[in-house]
Amino acid sequence: MEHPTSEIKILTMAEMAAQGKEPEILFWVGCAGSFDERAQKITRDICKILNHVGIGFAVLGTEESCTGDPAKRAGNEFLFQMQAMVNIQVLNGYNIKKIVTGCPHCFNTIRNEYPGLGGNYEVIHHSQLIQQLINEGKLKTEGGESFKGKRITYHDPCYLGRGNNVYEAPRKALEVLDADLVEMKRCRSNGLCCGAGGGQMFKEPEKGNKDINIERMEDILESKATVVAAACPFCMTMLRDGVKHFEKEQEIQVLDIAEITARANGL
């Protein structure tokens, strides 16, 4: 059962600025987190975690716009830089210092590609925030759903893992669950892409003998995991499609690291 998010006060930067306040951290929701129904749940869970530990945060709301990541990977540098510069204007206008993102693509783009265009922020992915909170003892994994003994595997998103060498943070969030953690044969820097990166999310795959998420599903089935932990809304879509393809919706759940953390803490 999900607690309604309306209990939590979610302020936009504009609202905060009107009150003359500054948040500790800006939550960059991302397009998938804003519009994709499945990803919206993850967005709400990230808010619940932030609220639970008492971090003062804000979102940009309607002032947020695509980071330009899909345009850049697909070759439209022009559109990417247009998006980037407009976003940087907004972020700098609010004097933003620290950003947490709900998506590895936004994370990578703002962290690595915005500085060259005048946007310098401390950027973390939500799995890194969760790791930090666990390390500081602020998240205790209690009072919620028990994952004890559940067989969980983690799928590395390319732009978190290989792209930015973040392999441990999401695993840390799973280690505290006392679950039966299992790695797929292709994991960490060997992890297989879900098939959505580089603009593929928005087009039909090129001719081949298999879809990439089906290839990845075979790794998941081999791992015999009942929970697949994801950390990227695009991976989430691809992996869920894979589960559906094999008609394993009853046996295998695909959950984001934030959802697992929220559930374990009864949020």
Partner 1 sequence: MIGQIIFIIILAAAVYLFSKNAGKIRRNILLGRDTNRSDHRAERWKIMAKVALGQSKMVKRPFAAVMHFFIYVGFVIINVEVLEIMIDGIFGSHRVFSKPLGSLYGLLIGGFEVLAVMVLIACVTFLARRNIVHLKRFTGVEMTSWPKSDANYILIIEILLMTAFLTMNAADHKLQLLNFGHYIKAGDFPVSAFIGPLLPDNTAALEIIERTCWWFHIIGILAFLNYLPYSKHFHILLAFPNTWYSNLNPKGEFTNMDSVTNEVKAMLDPSFVPETTAEPARFGVKDVTDLTWKNLMEAYTCTECGRCTSVCPANQTGKLLSPRKIMMDTRDRVTEMGNNLDKHGKEYKDDKSLLDNYITREELWACTTCNACVDACPVNINPLEIITGMRRYIVMEESQAPASLNNMFGNVENNGAPWKYSQADRLNWKENS
Site for partner 1 in 172-211 (CB under 8 A): 189-190, 192-193, 195-211
Give the x-and-dash track for 38-77 against partner 1 (CB under 8 A).
Answer: --x--xx--------------x-xx-xxx-x-xxxxxxxx
Please give the structure tokens belonging to residue 27. 């939550």
Query: CB of 246: closest distance to partner 1 in angstroms?
Result: 16
Do 83 and 119 form a contact (C-beta atoms < 8 A)? no
Query: Is residue 78 involved in binding partner 1 (CB under 8 A)?
Result: yes
Between 112 and 135, name the residue whose CB sits nearer to partner 1: 112
Choice from 25, 212, 239, 258 touching partner 1 (CB under 8 A): 212
Which DSSP state fits 164?
A: T
C-alpha distance from residue 91 to each of 97, 98, 103, 140 (Å): 9, 10, 18, 32
Stretch that binds partner 1, among 120-128, 143-151, 159-167, 224-232 (CB under 8 A): 159-167
Between 134 and 193, name the residue whose CB sits nearer to partner 1: 193
Query: CB of 183: closest distance to partner 1 in angstroms?
Result: 15
How many CB atoms neighbour CB 141 within 10 A? 19
C-alpha distance from residue 244 to each of 26, 125, 210 (Å): 35, 28, 15
Between 44 and 171, name the residue whose CB sits nearer to partner 1: 44
Query: CB of 207: closest distance to partner 1 in angstroms?
Result: 7
Between 18 and 140, name the residue whose CB sits nearer to partner 1: 18
Choice from 56, 93, 116, 149 touching partner 1 (CB under 8 A): 116
Report the alpha-carbon angle 258-175-39, nearest 5. Answer: 15
Burial classification of residue 232, based on how many CB atoms lie within 10 Å of its CB (0-12 exposed, 13-18 middle, 19 or more buried): buried
Query: CB of 87: closest distance to partner 1 in angstroms?
Result: 9
d(CA 97, CA 209): 46
